């Protein structure tokens, strides 16, 4: 296992915009790398407050459902005391897979911001467009590309060193 060669980001608290929260998601991704997991991180935010954060820990928990987004969504639901994450925004360093896309729709998130597209397994436009299926009673908003280069380099470097 190679030590993570990347440093945490330190965004200013003065401007809590999409970049700010994606930088925190990036920091979560570094936590995944530290335990030798694929470095993906996620944050759930509402009105400037962080309600959930998570990083991929499939291997550590030995649970295929322990993706960053699932952990952050479950945490946010606990914080709100409601499974409806109305007015909440998810920030995640890679496009959600079909499982996590489904969870985003079911939990009625307002917007999903993702940094890097996943043309193979992405569920929000990359491999599939699950958010576009007819008859959904909730429509997600999507925002793509915040902190894209850094998040892409993180993933590519991880897989490069793994080989």
The residues annotated with a catalytic role in the active site are 69
From residue 38, give the alpha-carbon distance in Å to each of 25, 46, 152.
14, 26, 12
Q: Is 121 in the site for its own copies (CB under 8 A)?
A: yes
- Burial (CB count within 10 angstroms: exposed 0-12, middle 13-18, buried 19+), residue 66: middle
Residue in 34, 78, 139, 162 binding its own copies, rule: CB under 8 A: 78
From residue 156, give the alpha-carbon distance in Å to each of 78, 97, 127.
33, 17, 19
Q: Is 142 in the site for its own copies (CB under 8 A)?
A: no
Q: Which is nearer to its own copies, 5 or 129 (CB)?
A: 129
Residues near its own copies (CB under 8 A), total: 39
Q: Is 107 in the site for its own copies (CB under 8 A)?
A: yes
Residue whose C-alpha is closest to residue 101's, from 80, 75, 64, 126: 126
Residues near its own copies, by CB under 8 A: 58-59, 61-66, 70, 73-74, 77-78, 81-85, 97-103, 105-108, 120-121, 123, 127-128, 130, 133-136
């Amino acid at each position: 296992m190679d030590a993570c060669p990347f440093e945490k980001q330190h965004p200013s608290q003065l401007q809590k915009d999409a970049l700010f929260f994606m930088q925190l998601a990036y920091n979560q991704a570094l936590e995944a790398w530290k335990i030798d997991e694929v470095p993906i991180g996620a944050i759930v935010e509402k009105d400037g407050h962080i309600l959930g954060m998570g990083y991929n820990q499939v291997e550590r928990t030995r649970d295929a459902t322990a993706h960053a987004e699932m952990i952050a969504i479950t945490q946010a639901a606990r914080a709100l005391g409601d499974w409806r994450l109305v007015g909440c925004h998810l920030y995640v360093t890679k496009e959600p897979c079909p499982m996590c896309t489904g969870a985003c729709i079911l939990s009625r998130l307002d917007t999903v911001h993702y940094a890097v597209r996943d043309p193979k397994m992405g569920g929000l436009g990359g491999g599939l467009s699950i958010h576009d299926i007819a008859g959904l009673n909730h429509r997600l908003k999507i925002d793509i590309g915040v902190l894209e280069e850094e998040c892409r380099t993180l993933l590519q470097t991880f897989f490069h060193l793994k080989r």
